Amino acid sequence: MDNTTSPLYIYNSLSGKKEAFKPLNPPFVGLYTCGPTVYSDVHLGNVRTFLTFDVVFRYLSYLGYKVRYVRNITDVGHLLGDAAEGEDRIEKRAKLEKLEPMEIVQKYTNGFHDTIAAFNLIPPSIEPTATGHIVEQIEMVQRILDNGYAYIVNGSVYFDVKKYAEQHKYGELSGRKIEEQLEQTRENLEGGDEKRFFADFAIWKKASPETIMKWNSPWGEGVPGWHLECSVMSTKYLGKEFDIHGGGMDLKFPHHECEIAQSVGADGVNPVKYWMHGNMLTVNGTKMSKSLDNSFLPHELISGSHPLLDKGYSAMTTRFFFLQANYRSTVDFSNEALLAAEKGYKRLMAAIKTLDNIRASDSSSVDVNKLIGDCRNSMNDDFNTPVTIAHLFDGVKMINSVADGKNTLNQPDLDRLRTHYQDFVFDILGLKDEDDAGESNVTLLDDVMHIVLDLRNQSKQNKDWATADFIRDELKKLHISIKDSKESSTWEYED
C-alpha cells in the first residue's frame, strides 16, 4: 500500500466523533453485530443494517486484518414488552402458525440466510444462537447478582439500574440521563410491576407454565432476557473487551445501553471500543418497521409486487442503491431513486467489462494511482461508500475514454486498475455482475454470441444492413442488446 493513504477512521457512537481505528490485538479484529430475531421475515431495513456491517467486515479484511465476525441469531428471549405477562415473540408466532417454536426459528433462520445470500453478504465467522448459550447466560446473571447489580422477584431477575447508575455511567451511549427520564415516565410506574425502578430490565424472566421454551436455573424455570444474549455471545467469542459492535440505530437504546451495563455489572469491563450504528431505511420519510406495517420484503422488491413500486429491482441494484448513501444517514425508498441506481449500477458493470477488453499502450495518460488512493481514503473515512462510488465513476470515465482512444494506459497501470476494480467493486462493496450470476452456460453463450457478432460484422462489411439489423432486432427480442464501436461489437443481457 502506498503511504499517501490515510489511516482508517471510524465514527464511534460512544464519543460522537470519528476516531482513528486501533485494534486491541492487531492484526486481529473482533466485530459483533446484533442479528435478527427469527420470528418473521427480515425486511429491507434489516437487510440494510446487515449490509453495512458486511462492508465493514469486507473492508477490514481488505486492509489485512484477521477479522472474527460474530452475528447472533435471537431464537428465544425477545419478549413483547418487559412486563410480567410479556410473551416471547417466537412463541407467539408459533401459536399463530400452529408450529413448534423451534420450527419457527428454523423457518425464519433459513429465510434470513437465503435473503442475505441473495444480497451477497458474506456469512459471519460465528453465528451463535441464544438457545445455544443458556448456560453462559445463567452464569452471567449470577455474576451480576453476585456483584449486587441485580435482584430477584418471583423467580425473575432484574438489573438494578438505579444502583448501577450510582457507580457507573448508565446512559453514556445514548446520551440519556436517568433523572430526566424519571419525570416523564412516572405514570408507567403504576400497576403491579415487579421492577423496583422504571429503568430496570429483566435479565432472567420467570416462565409461565404454558411456555414451551424454558430452562431450569437457580431462580426456577425461565428464559434469559433479550439484552443478555448479546453480552454473553459477544464476549464469549471476542473477549471481555473487543473492537467493534454494530447494530441498527434503534437498538442504541435500550438494547446496547443495557449490554454495556450488563458487562460492566458482571465483569467490570466496558466491553466495546467502537460502537457503530446504522441508520434507518424509510418509506415516505417514515421508518420501515414491522409494527408500522410499511415493510418491504426482499421478494416484493425484486419482483416489483409491492404496491409502491412500478417494477422490480434486483438484489444488486438494491445493494448499490444502499451503498450510494452513507450508512449513518437515513435512506428513503422511491421508484425514481431505485431506477437511477439501477442505471448507474449497470453503467459501472459495463465499464468493468470494457476494462477487460482494453489493450495496453506504451504509456499512461491518466493517473491510476490517484484513483486508487482516492478510493482508499474515502473508505478510510468511516467507510464512506458513496464517495468511494463517486471515485469509481471517475474511473468509469477513465476506462471509457481509454476504450474510446482518447486516453491511454500502460500495462502496469492497466493491471493495477483491473485489480483495483476487482478489489473495490466486487470484494469490498460486494457487488457482482448479475448477468453472470448463477449461469452455468455463460461461457457457452459468450462463445455463441461471438460467432453471431462475427457474422453480423461480415454483413456490415458487405453493407448488408438488412441482415445486420435483422440480427440485432431479433437479439433485442431476447433482451440481448448490441453495442457497436469502431473496433468491434459487444453485447449485453438486459432484464
The whole-angstrom separation of Cα 422 and Cα 62 is: 12
Query: Quick one: 28 or 176, whose CB is closer to RNA?
Result: 176
Per-residue cell: 41: 421475515
CA triple 419-116-8, angle to 5 deg: 45
Footprint of RNA on 29-88 (CB under 7 A): 34, 36-37, 43, 45-46, 48-49, 78, 80-82
Q: Is 23 in the site for RNA (CB under 7 A)?
A: no
> Cβ 457 to RNA, closest distance in Å?
9
Residue in 161, 244, 301, 352 binding RNA, rule: CB under 7 A: 161
Query: Quick one: 23 or 280, whose CB is closer to RNA?
Result: 280
Footprint of RNA on 91-150 (CB under 7 A): none
Query: Quick one: 116 or 140, whose CB is closer to RNA?
Result: 116
DSSP H helical segments within 132-177, as ranges?
Answer: 134-146, 161-167
**String of DSSP letters for 288-307:** --TTTT-PPPHHHHHHT-ST
Contact (CB, 8 A) for 424 and 388: yes
Footprint of RNA on 448-467 (CB under 7 A): 460, 465
Q: Is 485 in the site for RNA (CB under 7 A)?
A: yes
User: Which 3 state secondary structure label does DSSP give 242?
Assistant: strand
The whole-angstrom separation of Cα 388 and Cα 386 is: 5
Q: Is 245 in the site for RNA (CB under 7 A)?
A: no
Beta bridge pairs of residue 71: 33
Query: Quick one: 477 or 486, whose CB is closer to RNA?
Result: 486
Footprint of RNA on 213-242 (CB under 7 A): 226
Footprint of RNA on 303-342 (CB under 7 A): 324-326, 329-332, 334, 336-337, 339-341
Q: Among 111-119, 195-203, 235-243, 304-312, which window interacts with RNA (CB under 7 A)?
A: 195-203
Binding-site size for RNA (CB under 7 A) equals 93
Footprint of RNA on 258-277 (CB under 7 A): 258
The whole-angstrom separation of Cα 256 and Cα 317 is: 31
The whole-angstrom separation of Cα 189 and Cα 201 is: 13
Task: Report the C-alpha dihedral over residues 208, 211, 217, 218, rounded to 10 degrees.
Answer: 10
Residue in 150, 368, 389, 409 binding RNA, rule: CB under 7 A: 389
Binding mask 398-437 for RNA (x = CB under 7 A): --xx-xx-x-------------------------------
Residue 172, number of CB atoms within 10 A of its CB: 14
The answer, yes or no, to whether the previous bond of 412 is cis (omega within 30 of 0) is no
